[in-house]
Amino acid sequence: MKRVYTKEELVRKNIYMQGSKEIPDSIEVGEELIVVKKGQHSLEIPVNSMRGKAILDRLSYKGELTQEIYL
Question: How confident is the model over 1-52, as pLDDT tens digits?
Answer: 799 999 999 998 889 998 888 999 999 999 999 999 999 999 999 999 999 9
Global model pTM greater than 0.85: no
Q: Which amino acid is at 21?
A: K
Are the C-beta atoms of residues 14 and 58 closer than 8 Å to each other? yes
The predicted pLDDT at position 6 comes to 96
Candidates 45, 42, 21, 23; CA nearest to 34 is 45
